[in-house]
Structure 1
Amino acid sequence: MFNFLFKFLFKIAGWKLVGQFPKHIKKSILIVAPHAQSVDFPVGIGARAAIGVKMGFLGKKELFEGLFGWMFYWLGGYPVDRSSNNQVVKAVTTLYNSKEELHLVIAPEGTRKDVDKLKMGFYFIAKNADIPIVMIGFDYAIKGIVISEPFYTTNDSHADLKQIALFFDKIGGYKKTWVSNYLKY
């Protein structure tokens, strides 16, 4: 019922999917960028419903506290404490290894503010859990959710990050400084 409503609202707002989600893959980490505004979350929930694959998300623990905290759990969220080194990569890798099927969404910038580089947790989760990264771009210029093919990490992190930046460099609308920084490699 709610997926139908979220999908309907996504379409009525004029958003569309660009590309196909790799439904044959049972596990992936999805990196969504740019994460620039509060409206990204409802657009993302609508996109998830339109894609039709069960996905959870990693979010700052503060979202899960207070009056609406229950809602973020209900929507499939896993809280992350960003205040210190809590071995999040190890915990999420263990979570992936314990599940037959798991797709988690993360904003690699770690914030809605402009950043110079990405938080690397998603990369090490993908590498340690031996799962692909699926890049998803919020292209506000065309109101499109752009979905990449699965990307598997290699032993060359600089080359991998450049490939990730090349994907996001094509996303219209709000640009983040980290993209140009990684393209310099």
Structure 2
Amino acid sequence: MKKIARFILFTILGWKFDGDFPKSPKKYVVIAAPHTSWVDFPIAILTRLSSGIMINFIGKASLFKGPFGFIFKALGGTPVDRTKNNKFVDAIIDIFNSKEEFRLGISPEGTRKKVTTWKTGFYYIAKGANVPIVMATLDFGNKKIKISKPFYTTDNKEKDIAYLRGFFLNVKGKNPELS
């Protein structure tokens, strides 16, 4: 599957890697931005398959219903009910703590719409599970998938978020007006 994904991603679609998902540590949170189009998802899945590193993801519960819900689950997805206050961060921390190997991909924007501030659940998950954050971006302007080295949070949330956001400067999403 890895060879097929690489052929599609690199040869047919013309993308390039700048970095790769780390094999170690075996647990981390991947934040991917900007998230501006449904096209981000298949490119992200091809990226994950091309790397050979399993990265799970979460999505709104409605994606996991109907005729295609089983596909999202088979790809490593978990539905999230965003209508309830269900201690989501604590539940994800428990998953990290219960596994020897777990990587979770999250969009810090939480939507494909334009946002000025990120949701910070990813930050509290990483901090609470004592795992690093790996930044990943799909730069449609340059057809480049850029992946960072692991970043460990500090005790200065504002400085950490500013550093993380800096990784995504000058990146063009599929719909740049939403970046």
Q: Quickly name the TM-score band, shorter chain normalised.
A: over 0.9
Residue-pair matches, total: 176
Question: What TM-score comes out, normalization by structure 2 length?
Answer: 0.93
Q: CA deviation at 1:170?
A: 3.9
Q: CA deviation at 1:60?
A: 1.1
* Separation in structure 2 between the aligned mates of residue 76 and residue 142 of structure 1, nearest angstrom: 28
How do residues 1-185 of structure 1 correspond to structure 2 at under 5 angstroms?
1=1, 3-11=2-10, 12-173=12-173, 174=176
Q: CA deviation at 1:176?
A: 5.5
Please provide the CA RMSD for this pair: 1.4
Once the two structures are overlaid, the 10-residue window that deviates more, 19-28 or 122-131, is: 19-28
| Structure 1 residues 176 and 25, CA gap change in structure 2 (3 angstroms) | farther
* Separation in structure 1 between the aligned mates of residue 86 and residue 145 of structure 2, nearest angstrom: 31
* Separation in structure 2 between the aligned mates of residue 48 and residue 22 of structure 1, nearest angstrom: 12
* Separation in structure 2 between the aligned mates of residue 146 and residue 39 of structure 1, nearest angstrom: 17
Residue 152 of structure 1 aligns to a residue in which SS?
coil
Structure ranking higher on relative contact order (CA contacts 8 Å, 6+ apart): 2
CA contact (8 A) 1:34 1:175 kept: no
Question: What TM-score comes out, normalization by structure 1 length?
Answer: 0.90
* Structure 1 unaligned blocks of 5 or more: 178-185
Q: CA deviation at 1:138?
A: 1.1
Identity within the alignment, %: 47
* Separation in structure 1 between the aligned mates of residue 137 and residue 96 of structure 2, nearest angstrom: 23
Q: Which amino acid aligns with 2:73?
A: Y
Residue 92 of structure 1 aligns to a residue in which SS?
helix
* Separation in structure 2 between the aligned mates of residue 50 and residue 169 of structure 1, nearest angstrom: 25
* Structure 2 unaligned blocks of 5 or more: none
Residue 169 of structure 1 aligns to a residue in which SS?
coil
* Separation in structure 2 between the aligned mates of residue 119 and residue 112 of structure 1, nearest angstrom: 13
Please give the per-residue CA displacement for 1:75-114, whole angstroms capped at 9, x wherever unaligned: 0001111112111100000000000000111111111000
Q: Which amino acid aligns with 2:8?
A: L
Q: Which runs of 4+ in 1 moved over 6 A?
A: none
* Separation in structure 2 between the aligned mates of residue 112 and residue 172 of structure 1, nearest angstrom: 13
Once the two structures are overlaid, the 10-residue window that deviates more, 120-129 or 56-65, is: 56-65
